[in-house]
Amino acid sequence: TQDVASDIEHVLLTKEDIQERIKDLAARIDADYEGRDILLVGVLKGAVMVMADLARALHSHVTMDWMAVSSYGSGTQSSGVVRILKDLDTDLMGKHVLIVEDIIDSGLTLSWLQSNLRSRGPASVEICTLLRKPEAAKVEIDVKYVGEEIPNEFVVGYGLDFAEKYRNLDFVGTLARHVYE
């Protein structure tokens, strides 16, 4: 049988690495918010795994809402074009909003999303991302919670896709060249 993991060249973060980063992020977030309610805003679809694990690692009261935006299409490059595919159901007025992301690559998605959400009257807007690629940044954004900085390579797994696949891996790794060449 063809195991999905056989398309991976090398593993950047194991399942255990990821769960450790999530635990550390949750501890920092709980301490910073000191019992205030948090509205977690997950960015579909990549952030579903981080959201599910982070929400369960937090001890604060949280609610969850989702936005769908897209910048990649089906390729491996950021297009810089951000489209809203699904907006929030929640009114942000007076809320402490924490945007939850799987990865910040060029930063274009988050830069746009952060200012969009800030214009809706929240008490605060911060960002939590599992992964960040500092070398790929095209815009400067202030990201309070970063799980791990990684090199500028195309990675999949734990929510991250290539043409919608590989999101279900419980680790993060680079895709073997034979898959996309």
CB of 154 to ligand PRP, least distance (A): 11
Stretch that binds Mg ion, among 17-25, 71-79, 150-158, 165-173 (CB under 5 A): 71-79
Nearer residue to Mg ion within complex by CB, 70 or 124: 70
**HSE-CB of 19 using CA atoms within 13 angstroms:** 5
- Contact set for Mg ion, span 149-178 (CB under 5 A): 161
Nearer residue to ligand PRP within complex by CB, 106 or 114: 106
By CB under 6 A, tell whether 105 contacts ligand PRP.
yes
Q: What does 42 interact with, of Mn ion, Mg ion, ligand PRP, none (CB < 5 to 8 A by kind)?
A: none
Q: What does 108 interact with, of ligand PRP, Mn ion, Mg ion, none (CB < 5 to 8 A by kind)?
A: ligand PRP
Angle at 151 between CA 53 and CA 161, to 5 degrees: 50
Q: Which of 37, 105, 142, 161 is catalytic?
A: 105
Nearer residue to ligand PRP within complex by CB, 29 or 99: 99
Nearer residue to Mn ion within complex by CB, 11 or 44: 44
Consecutive H or E run containing 44: strand 38-44
Indicate if 105 belongs to the active site.
Answer: yes
Distant-in-sequence, close-in-space partners of 147: CB < 8 Å, separation ≥ 6: 18, 21, 22, 24, 25, 129, 130, 131
HEC string of 136-171 equals HCCCCCCCCEEEEECCCCCEEECCECECCECCCCCC
Report how far residue 171's alpha carbon sits from residue 110's, in angstroms, rounded to the nearest whole number.
23
- Classified as helix, coil or strand, 81 is coil
Residues of this chain that bind Mg ion (CB under 5 A):
72, 161
Which positions lie near Mn ion, rule CB under 5 A?
46
